[in-house]
Structure 1
Amino acid sequence: MRWMHCLAIGTLGIALTACTTSPTGRSQLTLMSDDQLNQMGAQAFAQYQQELPTVGGAPLRYVQCVTDAVVQALPARERDQNWQVKVFESEQANAFALPGGYVGINTGLLEIAENQDQLAAVIGHEIGHVMARHANERASTQSATQLGLSVISSASGMQGPGGEQMMAALGMGAQYGILLPFSRRHESEADTIGLNLMANAGFDPRASIALWENMGATGGGRPPAWMSTHPSHGQRMGGLEAGMDEAMARYEQARQAGRTPNCPRP
């Protein structure tokens, strides 16, 4: 089995030549171009609009106001995109930001986020995924993992029921040992980026803790953290609390600089 492990590592090593660095300084595997990701973002945004009705009026103005304030705190590369914002009619408490400059918020989430600061925590987190190129990294990691498993299957001549069972076991190991941990890491990293981003925009970062308390109160049963693509609520709030001192310093600086968003909740 050792040679199979080495072969998989070697295959992934070829892909690792396309490395970048995230905003937090973490090394990343990014095989796709920004143009490819932006096109995928546009397609996903269009598909979402086909699947759910959109909401205008006061809810849209509210989300647009918070998003505009957060976007103004972005680095120039992300800030200068033509950000589009939509509110979708859905009870599911969901939100997203996509490469290319797209933000979507479900009405179900607006019921959980009690004020502009809590909504900014959500939007900052989602835009944090875009800033850190997590979509690129996830797609690249999946491609590299599938390539590694394919090479193992071909080189070892795994045929028949026994080989299929072995490949299924390897696939399960890749799912829980590579792909899901990356997703949890992305969520924690987006929390860190979003916390600082909302603070830089003049939103109170302490609202992020209250938001996740609200989410925890409304959530049902969850799988163990090691089987989930998201950290547990406790892990998430612990990470936010760990970065709160820096975020509060950024918040005070933003307020002193006149960044005082005023987005009334409908």
Structure 2
Amino acid sequence: MNRFLLLSFHCFVLLLISCQTSPTGRRQLLLVKDPEMNEMGTQAFAEMKKQTPIERGEAVNRYVNCIVQAELAVTEDSTGVASWEVVVFKDSTPNAFALPGGKIGVHTGILPVAKTPGQLAAVIGHEIGHVIARHGNERVSQNQITNGGMEALKTIGKGDMAGVLGAGAKFGVLLPYSRAHESEADYIGLEIMAKAGFNPEESVTLWENMSALGGSKSAEILSTHPSDETRMTQLKSKMSDALQLFNSAKSQGKVPGCRL
């Protein structure tokens, strides 16, 4: 049996014994227990806080946390996160991320791109989606299969572990899963922001802003993220349901007053 067939057989067996479903009903391979994943995320986040300057400004932290708290109030999480932590990092790149254990990092560079509370809610809802859908667990589980199990992961430094938990491989067997994760997190984030009282249509505007940044981007087939155009198309396909959730939230008085 060649290596590819052996790997495929191994994956099939693991799927039979360890398969669960994500919040959207997608089948998942999860080999690591939630408490262990949460500890890995907590350790990696602590290391990142040591290495990256933190924005201490009261206004920006109040603004970001206002959006986070509004979204967490409507989020169902079964990963065992006791409390969520949000840190605004002084980093000019337009980015945000999330790690298992309820750790969210927001770069100051995302604020000129996510220009409204609703647009930033789309970003943060997406990151919350990664956590509650256990995408980090999937990446670690896939890494175990391809790189020799948990012992291989233990040799990775905390900084690199953050990449394993939140980025995955660039090419090969993990690539399709990474794009699936991004699309799924978009859907989950769209629902979260709508339930929290943020206009879900602003998620499309966010990606219009991201697309307008330009720059060199890999072809979608070689990228761990869907193209901007694909993301906007996928979000629009879910917009009718999201708007119903948004209107329901407004009727319940959910109008987040988050302002920078």
TM normalised by structure 1 equals: 0.85
Structure-2 residue corresponding to 1:97: 98
Aligned residue identity for 1:28? Q
Superposed displacement of residue 258, structure 1? 1.1
Aligned residue identity for 1:47? E
CA contact (8 A) 2:63 2:258 kept: yes
In structure 2, the CA distance between the partners of 1:36 and 1:192, relative to structure 1 (3 Å rule), is: same
Cα distance in 2 for residues equivalent to 1:96 and 1:7 = 34
Matched, 1:66 2:67: yes
User: Larger helix proportion, structure 1 or 2?
Assistant: 1
- 1:3-34 deviation line (CA, Å, top 9, x unaligned): 54432221112322111100000110000111
Structure-2 residue corresponding to 1:163: none
Structure-2 residue corresponding to 1:134: 135
In structure 2, the CA distance between the partners of 1:98 and 1:3, relative to structure 1 (3 Å rule), is: closer
Cα distance in 2 for residues equivalent to 1:78 and 1:141 = 19
Structure-1 residue corresponding to 2:185: 190
- 1:45-64 deviation line (CA, Å, top 9, x unaligned): 11111111111210000000
In structure 2, the CA distance between the partners of 1:79 and 1:200, relative to structure 1 (3 Å rule), is: farther
Aligned residue identity for 1:123? I
Identity of aligned residues (%): 46
Structure-1 residue corresponding to 2:173: 178
Cα distance in 1 for residues equivalent to 2:253 and 2:53 = 37
Counterpart secondary structure, 2:28: strand
CA contact (8 A) 1:121 1:207 kept: yes
Counterpart mapping for 1:1-266 below 5 A: 3-16=2-15, 17-56=17-56, 57-75=58-76, 77=78, 81-147=82-148, 176-265=171-260
Deviates more, 1:22-31 or 1:213-222: 213-222
Q: Which has the larger radius of gyration?
A: 1
Superposed displacement of residue 176, structure 1? 3.8
Unaligned segments of structure 1, at least 5 residues: 149-173
CA contact (8 A) 1:199 1:247 kept: yes
CA contact (8 A) 1:74 1:197 kept: yes
In structure 2, the CA distance between the partners of 1:146 and 1:65, relative to structure 1 (3 Å rule), is: same
Cα distance in 2 for residues equivalent to 1:44 and 1:143 = 18
In structure 2, the CA distance between the partners of 1:256 and 1:71, relative to structure 1 (3 Å rule), is: same
Cα distance in 2 for residues equivalent to 1:88 and 1:242 = 33
Aligned residue identity for 2:87? K
Say how many residue pairs are matched. Answer: 239
- 1:59-117 deviation line (CA, Å, top 9, x unaligned): 00000000000000111546973111111111011101221111111100011111100
The runs of 4+ residues in structure 1 deviating greater than 4 Å are none
- 1:124-172 deviation line (CA, Å, top 9, x unaligned): 0000000110000011112213359xxxxxxxxxxxxxxxxxxxxxxxx
Cα distance in 1 for residues equivalent to 2:126 and 2:18 = 25
Aligned residue identity for 1:18? S
CA contact (8 A) 1:19 1:29 kept: yes
Give RMSD over aligned pairs.
1.8
Superposed displacement of residue 175, structure 1? 6.3
Cα distance in 1 for residues equivalent to 2:181 and 2:67 = 23
CA contact (8 A) 1:118 1:207 kept: yes
CA contact (8 A) 1:11 1:147 kept: no
Cα distance in 2 for residues equivalent to 1:4 and 1:50 = 41
TM normalised by structure 2 equals: 0.87
Cα distance in 2 for residues equivalent to 1:76 and 1:130 = 8
